Amino acid sequence: MTNAPPQKRSASIDWNARFHTLAAQAEHPLLKRFYEAGVVGAETPLEHVEMLAMDVETTGLNAKADGIVSIGLLPFTLKRIRCGEALYWLINPPSELRGESVTFHHITHSDILNAPQLMRCRALLSICARARSSRCGCSG
């Protein structure tokens, strides 16, 4: 007989209640709408859940100093990756591109020259707030 330590069980979070609280606290209407959309119920089988993969490229790793240069969204389920519904935006960041970040993500100054700034890309923010994919682009 072994004397295994008792397993610790992490506290369960009521995500519906948490999102309700965050929606009430949110000041930005898109963030408020995101939280108001709620979450998938814990009893929902994972194979029935629509998911969204998100890829973000930045000018560096410092969240306070570096900016976003691209965002990609790809909807999927456990059975299907919906490549035809994928969305991608180039973003003109407030911070300068640096050589090491360009080497990593291959997004250059000429790529972002006419791209909108993140806060002007309302369609992108709306899609992220709804956590769904639909066809639309950034508005300048």
Burial annotation 55-89 (CB, 10 A radius, 16+ → b, else e): eebbbbeeeeebbbbbbebbbbeeeeeeeeeebeb
The pLDDT assigned to 140 comes to 36
Listing from the earlier edge strand, what are the strands of the sheet with 51-58?
A: 51-58, 68-76, 87-90
Task: For the chain, 140 residues long, give each residue's pLDDT as a single digit of tens.
Answer: 556 566 665 578 889 999 999 999 999 887 888 889 888 888 899 999 999 899 999 998 888 889 999 999 899 999 999 999 898 889 999 888 888 888 889 999 899 989 988 877 766 666 665 544 333 344 33
pLDDT score for 136: 39
Which pLDDT belongs to residue 123? 64
Distance separating alpha carbons of residues 71 and 118, to the nearest angstrom: 10
16: its two tokens: 């519906």
Write down the pLDDT at residue 124.
63
